Structure 1
Amino acid sequence: MKSSLPKVLHPVGHRAMVDHAIDAAEALGCEKIIVVVGNHSPEVRAHIVKRLGEDAIAVQDPPCGTGHAVRAAEEALKGFEGEVVITYGDVPLLKATDIEPVFGGKGVSVIGFEARDPGAYGRLVIEGETLVAITEAKEASAEVLAIRACNSGVMAAPSQLLFTLLADVTNENAKGEYYLTDVVELARKAGHDTRAVFAGEDAVMGVNSQAELAEAEALFQKVQRETFMANGVTMSAPETVHFAYDTQVGAGTVIEPFVVFGPNAVVEGGARIRSFSHIEGAKVGTKAEVGPYARLRPGADLGEKVKIGNFVEVKNVTLGTGAKANHLAYLGDGSVGAGANIGAGTIFCNYDGFFKHRTEVGEGAFVGSNSSLVAPVTIGDGAMVGSGSVVTKNVEAGELALARAPQVNKSGWAKRFMDTMRAKKAAKK
């Protein structure tokens, strides 16, 4: 990947690739999930421990091939009598539904795919309904290289059988590694069933470069867009809208072009998300409108029919039904009551350099343009704040707050000033 970030921690849909693999295992209802890691990637280990705990870790040290990696999990699976399925941390698009067909066999089952360009993929040699062998491209004859059925690497077998076969795998090959694929031929020679089931090529795509990561992201986004549109979400330019792995959007929502969803975004039905908006960790209520050019950050919670307009940023603020902030505002840490209006250029001054504080704006309140509300502060129900005010004290319900210097007009001052400056400028020429 030519990156300081370990490969399997690179994200697809704002989620690390290895987490996609774990998600699929969890969706299958697997009794145990073991992640094989190397000592060269402590970040990967820490990531897995945080999600699954230390018991989910098996260490391969040093790396000596895929067969060797699976054997590293043998101790962690000691006493387990079910079927073991082997998947990969750099195959982020594989779903539980793609994996399910490998289960239920008495011997070894492999997921294959029909490759558009078989290239360097291992080939599946199939006779009738039997998978005879998996041959690595580097060691394949011209006849085998012509086969389009390729190995995804995903394999399943009863636990005891799998590790018995792995014990007989050798590293007598061009790379000097222990190939997991050798299990198929060993199983067949021992009289066990060997079979292949097939998934789509995109589903089993592995990521080994930044270009392939971008390709996986594009495939992920395509599926997300198609799913949302099938469920009643309107997108006039879906190819410009980007979703996270956990984005939720209700039917009847309209998403305009060039909208980005980060993790943990929920949009209820009937909302409108206008162009060039970014939504992450936020909830948008029914019939609310966001944007264009709006940013909703974690903790933003917009009630029904709330309007957040252009160049408005909201962070950790709850807005009640019908509240509005139509332009050029920052709302951070607090609440805005139902029907309240936040004028253009209003700032919730929530940070004193050390701590965050809350601003509470009551129902039906009106905050005039270019106001600064210095938290902690409360604007009561139905209260008003005059434009350009810097509010540092609570405003009670129904009050008008004016916190600005009185205007003074000095007769003739501007003309005298300009005449003087023009004369000075002329004298320098």
Structure 2
Amino acid sequence: MTHKKLLLIEDDLILGESLVQRFELEGLKVIWLRRLAEAQLQIDSPWGAIVSDVRLPDGLATEWYAQLPAACRQLPWYFLTGYGSVNDAVGALQAGAREYLTKPFDTEKLVSAVMEVLSSHLEVATTVLGISPAMRRVEELVHKLSKQKTSVLVSGESGVGKEVVAQMIHNLDLRSKKGAFVAVNCAAVPDSMMEAEFFGYEKGAFTGSHRAHKGFVERADGGTLFLDEVGDLPASMQAKLLRVLQERCFFRLGSERTTHSDFRIIAATNRDLYADMLAGKFREDLFYRLAVIRIEIPPLRDRPEDIRWLTELILQQITAEQGTPIAMSELFLRDVMARTWRGNVRELRAYLEHAVVMSDSGILDQPMANRGTAQPGNGSVTTPPGALPSLHAVVEDAERGHIRKALGHCDGSLGKTADALGISRKTLWEKMKRLEINA
């Protein structure tokens, strides 16, 4: 398996042998070479990662690295360097290398870094979004998009996994390894802080700005900017975002110097953004800039094949976190399969976590409704016959109903709804998330 194969280029016999032994303890297959000429003959092999000394008997590894094809430089490279060649190593980082360590270095730090990146590559290689035909088609499209820098608009109901799809596109994109996945919830950023949070600011740009701050756009340089609930961006911010997408440059607040940022943009929405555009609520030019490729994720109730698969997957994750085996009866599974899951995967996960907590035996043997508990996300209080609901449950139910009524009155606009309720948009978003309310 390629993710288990490590290339080590090191001419120091003692250090080389020590690293080979240490990496083999982690289960890696290590090929140890001592010259650049030897490495040149094997560089095209499918390596999981490469660890190389900078100064070798027949040249500088960093100079050789800079001349390699892009596919080779996109592999995880780790350079080992003495103090005299730090500048060479820094140059390699700027060209795309993962990291450099100055001798003498902490071997465990190197091993940990290499194993972490190999594990993440393995996770990406085995990731699937679902077993239903619909999600298989989405996954095929994700793999195609990962090879391009095209803008993507992911749509679907709240909780279907839009950010999971965006993260998968980013993880599969070899170019994104140089940059971060920067996720922004547009509905949770206060209007007054939009420009500062997106574009950053210089020290002293406004009262309270005691130090320079990188914004979302700058932090996404070389990676992916994920804009969740992009339909909630105010009109002024839509125009500024459009300009950044066109020019790939912007000004920090308080700066006269242009800052460049090269990133892929993936946007997500649970609204009909095309309808918003036709209604004049969303800029047409920005819509077509964002929606070069559109991915529609169907709700969980329309892909029942995924419910059982997700249930087993989530319970495996809970088992791994808690270290305690968890089993479920056929009765419990039939109940899970029969529910509509209006909150989609997010609601399913909350339901299973709640069921595990309430289980005393480590076996999920009956539906939660039979235990006299509230069903997460159903918007009503469920109690055993003759029992009174808790005051907290009643208050939450009333708050949930009033927010839904306000959203309907304001045509789903979070900004207008927040104003009508006398709270900030960030507070409204947090309440909606806690009460599992779909916009």
When normalised by structure 1's length, the TM-score is 0.24
Is the strand fraction higher in 1 or 2?
1
When normalised by structure 2's length, the TM-score is 0.24
Bigger relative contact order, structure 1 or 2 (CA pairs below 8 A, ≥6 apart): 2
Is the helix fraction higher in 1 or 2?
2
Work out which of the two has the higher radius of gyration on C-alpha atoms and give 1 or 2.
1
